[in-house]
Structure 1
């Protein structure tokens, strides 16, 4: 009941939230500035070289009628806090490329389906689809919240920089294969994704230069700060991404 009430409140106030109201960070790349807008939960917006990229746009978190129109949209998986037809309809324009999973494509047709391990170039940006799934956390025995092979994380290439948006996942073995990640978004809420301890372990696996925990709900981010305080490989940044 508490979760439902929280979502209703977020939905009511979303109409008042516009792109100018969100925190932003800017990263220098060999192809120009990359601006990342932190919307909420698993929802992000990026602007690069004149292109607008929306990741998991959801109407609970913003009024997408007021947001910049998308050149590229990436959807990680089919759950309602990541795939929202209303937001997609609002933010698309002629020529928008929509990249998603097979299950998402059955619910809302896209431009391109990417499976784990596949890559493509969309709106001039190379995108790699990587695994995102649960190992331990299950709805019931044998039924993980996010089964292997159905959801995507994405690695986006911006000039000489790589940004990893993990989607809903745990600290899976495939993360050790990630190389030279400059910016990473890792989810941190139970029972659906990771504990702070699991995020810390994932961080050690591939050592991104900058880490943003996201999709963290009421998880205490101070726990992750404490876990990563004695390492100097990754800069931890906390933004409002509950």
Structure 2
């Protein structure tokens, strides 16, 4: 499959002329990412992971995508676009389904803790074709499977660098690329990526940076 990285947490996947998008949020180039998409997977409700207006606009098209998301997100989008209700699906952790030619498995259940006074929301991580894992805003390690390509949330209000590195070490995917990097400047990015690349390599993970708009075959 072809993976295209967009700003922050959004990625576009293409296989056999079919397109699936994960987390088209408001930090990302959502219109470009969603163009021609047959399916959209959303990990959780935060705006940097779903641009509600952009996704609703896509759903209003007769040829718009199917949407898979936690129940709260699915309910919100059904209220935004009632006519697209049958294309909007609630996802629970521990389920499997097929969409846009991809085999999808779901993991997790909740967003990582930001602060005890900030409510925890639902978060679903997605594994595609037993290959690519997008964890959303969590460090949940999929159980019972081997991840081949890991998307690493590099920086967030809910994480520290030690947790990022431990996540990479715990998953032990042969390849890893960054997501959730929209809050880092160039200097901070180099520091965190240096730790991930250096320590991850000791455990068999080859880490590489993808610029916004850059694509790679995985």
How far is the alpha carbon of 1:76 from its aligned partner? 0.7
- Deviations along 1:71-106, whole A, 9 cap, x unmatched? 111011111111212221344552621111101012
CA change 1:178–1:166 in 2 (3 A) is farther
CA distance in 1, matches of 2:56, 2:165: 37
CA distance in 1, matches of 2:143, 2:207: 21
Paired position in structure 2 for 1:185: 151
Q: Please, which of 19, 28, 43 is the counterpart of residue 52 of structure 1?
A: 19
How far is the alpha carbon of 1:55 from its aligned partner? 1.0
Structure 1 length-normalised TM: 0.71
How far is the alpha carbon of 1:209 from its aligned partner? 1.4
| Structure 2: segments with no counterpart, 5+ residues | 79-86, 213-218
SS at match of 1:52: strand
CA distance in 2, matches of 1:139, 1:204: 25
Q: Please, which of 102, 117, 132 is the counterpart of residue 163 of structure 1?
A: 132
Paired position in structure 2 for 1:75: 42
CA change 1:43–1:178 in 2 (3 A) is farther
SS at match of 1:184: strand
CA distance in 2, matches of 1:73, 1:95: 10
CA change 1:71–1:202 in 2 (3 A) is same
Count of paired positions = 195
Structure 2 length-normalised TM: 0.78
1:10-49 equivalent positions in 2, closer than 5 A: 34-49=1-16
CA change 1:54–1:103 in 2 (3 A) is same
SS at match of 1:138: coil
CA distance in 2, matches of 1:204, 1:229: 9
How far is the alpha carbon of 1:126 from its aligned partner? 1.4
Paired position in structure 2 for 1:226: 198
Paired position in structure 2 for 1:96: 65
CA distance in 1, matches of 2:34, 2:88: 21
Paired position in structure 2 for 1:29: none
CA distance in 2, matches of 1:54, 1:208: 21
Q: Please, which of 151, 160, 181 is the counterpart of residue 195 of structure 1?
A: 160
Higher relative contact order (CA 8 A, sep 6+): 2
Deviating 4+ runs (over 3 angstroms) = 89-93, 132-135
Pairing 1:154–2:126 present: yes
Cα RMSD (Å): 2.4
Q: Does the 8 Å contact 2:156/2:180 carry over to 1?
A: no
SS at match of 2:168: helix
Q: Does the 8 Å contact 1:69/1:91 carry over to 2?
A: no
Q: Does the 8 Å contact 1:167/1:186 carry over to 2?
A: no
Pairing 1:105–2:77 present: no
CA distance in 2, matches of 1:130, 1:176: 6
| Structure 1: segments with no counterpart, 5+ residues | 1-33
Could you say which structure has the higher helix fraction?
2
